[in-house]
Structure 1
Amino acid sequence: MIPAPRVEGRYAVALVCLGNICRSAMADVVLQEQLRQQPAGQGRDVEIRSAGTGDWHVGQPMDARAAATLRRHGYDPSTHRARQVGDDWLDRFDLVLAMDDSNLRDLGGRSDRVRLFRDFDPAGTGEVPDPYYGGDEGFEEVLAMVERTAGMLVEELRAR
């Protein structure tokens, strides 16, 4: 279950990984699209942002392999630009979802509002593996996790 919104009538979700060019970037695009596909009035009051705990890629587009994977599955990754988590994110967002345990530690650890992304995965919990140093199959695996988990998050947000 997701925590209550900080501001009635709107909900803000942050997606966080290391560099914001693979996992959280893919999750951002998929979750935005799944919310966009909701019936009129549902999902429109949800803010989604993604960022990395590191600053290496700030301002850069998504990793080319991540973008290609998204395009093959009908998503548009073209507007993504990497950003770094801001100092105010833990106070600003209703739910902050880290892609792995290292990201979770960088955010200060688990709380009601800071959790692992896959805590919402209907196929199981754990980390979203970083596909950066692997091949295309890693990006496909991440996309499958992201799509399942985003679907469950959309259901939670609709129920709220």
Structure 2
Amino acid sequence: MSTPERILFVCLGNICRSPAAEGVVRALAPGLELDSCGTGGWHVGEAPYGPMQAAAQARGYDLSRLRARQFSVSDFSLFDLILCMDGQNLADVEVLRPEGAHVPVRLFTDYAPEAGADAVPDPYYTRDFDGALDLIEVCARGLLAKA
């Protein structure tokens, strides 16, 4: 199986988990077309959350140019794979799936079964930015190993 060339990462507000996933995968595989978004629109236009940016920067990932946006039905035609950070994000995306859209929508943690996690916990609430990044890095390596 080859790695899809156009991947969208989805979380709730697009200020922590999904931009971090975009930044990590971009660093590991710069040739891919990547984006991130949130199921909610509260933070549209905002940069990633400061503590997440700081934790990512400490590992060499620059998230500063990313800006939050909300998931759109058009994303089903723009991406080859949509990866959600938790089951609620996945359910919220699937509700919007238009008839005839066949793009796979999966949990990002599906690519890291060894981690034993069914979601990337939201560090906006848990405050565990390094723990979220640890899991995101494992998932990213698993995703790219599928190539």
TM-score, with structure 1 as normaliser: 0.81
Secondary structure at 1:50 match in 2? strand
Partner of 1:18: 12
CA contact (8 A) 1:2 1:95 kept: no
The letter of the residue matching 2:67 is R
Poorly superposed stretches of 4+, deviation over 2 Å: 122-125
CA contact (8 A) 2:9 2:82 kept: yes
Q: Does 1:120 align with 2:120?
A: no
Partner of 2:57: 71
The letter of the residue matching 2:10 is V
CA contact (8 A) 1:53 1:103 kept: yes
Q: What RMSD in Å do the two structures reach over aligned CA positions?
A: 2.0
% identical equivalent positions: 42
The letter of the residue matching 2:138 is R
Per-residue displacement from partner, 1:39-63 (whole Å, max 9, x unpaired)? xxxxx2x211100011110110000
Q: State the alpha-carbon separation in 1 of the partners of residues 79 and 17 from structure 2.
A: 19
CA contact (8 A) 2:80 2:103 kept: no
Query: 1:47-126 to 2 correspondence within 5 Å?
Result: 47-108=33-94, 113-121=104-112, 122-126=114-118
Give the C-alpha shift of residue 152 in structure 1. 1.4
Q: Does 1:154 align with 2:140?
A: no
Give the C-alpha shift of residue 21 in structure 1. 0.1
Q: Does 1:133 align with 2:133?
A: no
Secondary structure at 2:125 match in 1? coil
Q: State the alpha-carbon separation in 1 of the partners of residues 47 and 9 from structure 2.
A: 16
Give the C-alpha shift of residue 2 in structure 1. 6.7
Q: State the alpha-carbon separation in 2 of the partners of residues 133 and 101 from structure 1.
A: 16
The gaps in structure 2 that reach 5 residues or longer are: 96-101
The letter of the residue matching 2:120 is V
Secondary structure at 1:128 match in 2? coil
The gaps in structure 1 that reach 5 residues or longer are: 6-10, 37-43
Give the C-alpha shift of residue 91 in structure 1. 2.6
The letter of the residue matching 2:64 is S
